[in-house]
Amino acid sequence: MIEFIPIQKEILTAWDTSIHHELSPYITKPLIHMNSVALEKLLEKEDELISVFNECTYELFNLKCCQSFIFLLFDKTFHMLASANYTENKKILDAKGLVLGTSFHPKSVGVNAVSLAAEKDSAVFLDTNQHFCVFLRDFYSSAIPLKISGEAIGYFNILTTSDNSLDEFRYLLDILSSAMMNKLHLEQCRKHKNMLSKLQLRILSLLANGKTESEIAENLNYSVQSIKYHKHEIYRKFNVKNTPDAITKLYKYNNSNCNFK
């Protein structure tokens, strides 16, 4: 199970920064929102991540342990992409101004679990009184980066107004973030595998093992010119300019559930 790292020092620093930037602790709603055009483009771009979030949170719908929690999804720039509210108060997010496109950048909402999870590159937990702005002080909050190949693609955030145990936060954060990343990983595997023909996958596999174009041509009984052509096609499909980048783009999704050979 995941563990929350100590962040009290970072919280105090963030409070000082908010004061320095003259952010009022008495704001009642987030200050920064995406406009409708930008939001529409973002939601379209992040459709796969949003779909996986919706699927994974819905699977918990009937679990009693979820009935006091709100789940939020953010992109890597801290804009809210989706929400799942299992509390009795179905209007709490709207009342707080937490609508799609809301920014959880510290300049928008002050100290929050999402921005701190990004800063520490780890799971974090905030008590109610650790938030800078009053409208977030109703919530206990935890967040974790969602990462593929070491790179954050978004953030998963859990909110509740109930004084739940840290074990509940750890459990939900762990199972939901893991489930989401497993589903995303498999989708990426299928997408990248299907972009290449079997021959191109074989060529890229041989390139990854240090084979030259001439050696690959001899091994596969093709002309060197044919190998050059398929290398160009691999680069074009993956939108890369060299073999190492093509190899990285394919194999960063490879695991025991996704065999490209």
Query: What pLDDT is attached to residue 256?
Result: 35
Query: What pLDDT is attached to residue 118?
Result: 95
Which of 175, 191, 207 is the endpoint of a domain? Answer: 191
Which of 170, 191, 212 is the endpoint of a domain? Answer: 191
Query: What pLDDT is attached to residue 190?
Result: 67
Query: What pLDDT is attached to residue 3?
Result: 81
User: Could you say which residues of the chain have pLDDT below 70?
Assistant: 62-65, 149, 187-194, 251-261
Looking up residue 122, the CATH number of its domain turns out to be 3.30.450.40
Query: What pLDDT is attached to residue 13?
Result: 93
Q: Could you give the 3-state DSSP secondary structure of residue 125?
A: strand
The tally of domains found in the chain comes to 2
Domain extent at residue 94: 8-191
Question: Do 69 and 145 have their domain in common?
Answer: yes
Query: What pLDDT is attached to residue 259?
Result: 46
Looking up residue 209, the CATH number of its domain turns out to be 1.10.10.10
In a domain, 52, yes or no: yes
Task: Tell me the pLDDT tens digit for each residue of 28-81.
Answer: 999 999 999 999 999 999 998 999 999 888 887 766 667 889 999 999 999 999
Question: Do 114 and 223 have their domain in common?
Answer: no
Query: What pLDDT is attached to residue 192?
Result: 62
In a domain, 222, yes or no: yes
Query: What pLDDT is attached to residue 255?
Result: 43
Query: What pLDDT is attached to residue 40?
Result: 96
Q: What is the pTM of this model?
A: 0.75
Alpha-helical segments (H) within 98-254: 106-109, 113-120, 166-195, 198-208, 213-220, 224-238, 243-251
